[in-house]
Structure 1
Amino acid sequence: MLIGIVRTIILYLIIVLVLRVMGKRQIGQLQPFELVIILMISELAVIPSQDSGIPLVAGLFPVLILLLLGLAISEIALKSEKARGIICGTPTILINKGQILEGELRKLRYNLSDLLEQLRAKNLPNIADVEYAILETNGQLSVIPKTGKRPVNTQDLKLQVIAEGLPLALIMDGKLQQKNLEKSGVNIQWLNKELTKANVPDIKKVFFASIDSQRKLYIQQKADPNK
């Protein structure tokens, strides 16, 4: 029993490592060959965890082969546009200048109900409002609205805006994030002074605090456990 638990934990950690090596992607962003490899790895990992008679190394050998195969295919697709088109496919236009391309829908076995569902998910329930709809190689639908239906932006209004940098977390659950403090260009004295202004007596009382590119500090104190 104990051996089975240990083998399962080892297999779990190795599979997580394999998936990390393959790259950070959500399931919906996987290419077909990546999804197949992940499914096969998952199936192969179950076999040695269920059968203690199979040596762990022998059970992991096919997993290693699949990992190397996935990395090799990814490298080929990265360096060759032609190979990328064969391996991953190419994006397909389903709506062109407001017109649904019936032939492309039939070719991809993509029915109108699926198309309308995806458009509703993009807050574009009316096909008349769509300039282009493109089915990407990972199965996601990219939608470009017609000019009059696009959200207004600052360029349309001719407004001058200040570029925003990435906010940095300075305090998380009462703990100072020293690296982020150094990146932010402020020091601990400045931070303590700002906390005092906000009537926060101690860093340990802060649940979360972040600073933006304009040196504006956001502070949220920890909840009172007595309430």
Structure 2
Amino acid sequence: MLFDNLQGLVRVIWVGTLAYAALVTVLRLSGKRTLAKMNAFDLVVTVALGSTLATVLLTKDVALLEGVLAFALLALLQFVVAWSVVRSPTLARMVQASPRVLLADGRFVKEALRDERVKEDEVKAAVRSAGIGGLADVALVVLETDGSFSVISQANAGERTAWPQERSS
């Protein structure tokens, strides 16, 4: 069966268009941070927005206005948490992960690898992806708060002021 009735298809087109416009409006009003991938909370908001959009589109029991309210609520909650984290180091430690040094000056930081559940081979792959052929040529590999690797070569290490300060994640 391709569809139940024409009314259902028209509803998806109509509600989908309006929900999409509402989501874009909420995202523009809430700022760039709402869809950032800076930490786990940001990812949760992004996934929740997508799930909400799908629910509004495909579930007849959820009215468009309820979906728009859900978009606005998620954006507001993300704003409140981000605003609070900037002002409270204690909350920041609770909500945000910290970047973690996995390799420093060509040597693996075994405790960090174990704690973050990262294999040496994964770090080596990140080094290769950065176009570096040997670990001795690497000043730093960092597991960033968004789960990506940053690789800094010895040649680009500079005065090392951008290196993460260790704190428990």
Above 0.5 in TM-score? yes
Question: Any stretches of 5+ residues in structure 2 without a counterpart?
Answer: 1-8, 158-169
Instruction: Give the equivalent residue in structure 1 for 2:142.
Output: 134
1:82 to 80, 85, 90: 90
Q: Deviations over 1:21-80 (max 9, x none)?
A: 44336x784321011111112112212211334321123333322111111011012222
Contact 1:4/1:52 (CA < 8 Å) preserved in 2?
A: no
- Give the counterpart of 1:33 among 22, 35, 41: 41
> Judging changes above 3 Å, is the alpha-carbon distance between structure 1 residues 108 and 28 closer, same or farther for their aligned structure 2 residues?
farther
TM-score (norm 2): 0.76
Kept in 2: contact 1:41–1:63 (CA 8 A)? yes
Structure number, greater radius of gyration: 1
User: What's the TM-score, normalizing by structure 1?
Assistant: 0.58
User: Counterparts of 1:1-227 in structure 2 under 5 Å?
Assistant: 1-24=9-32, 29-146=37-154, 149-150=155-156
1:115 and 1:130 mapped to 2: Cα distance? 11
Question: How far apart, in 2, do the equivalents of 1:21 and 1:136 lie?
Answer: 28
Which amino acid in 2 is paired with 1:123?
Answer: G
Note closer, same or farther for the CA distance 1:75–1:62 as it changes in structure 2 (3 Å cut).
same
Cα pair distance change 1:20/1:115, threshold 3 Å: farther
Secondary structure (helix, strand or coil) at the match of 2:32 reads: coil
Residue type at the aligned position of 1:23: G
Task: Identify the structure with bigger relative contact order (alpha carbons < 8 Å, sequence gap 6+).
Answer: 2
CA contact (8 A) 1:119 1:143 kept: yes
RMSD: 2.4
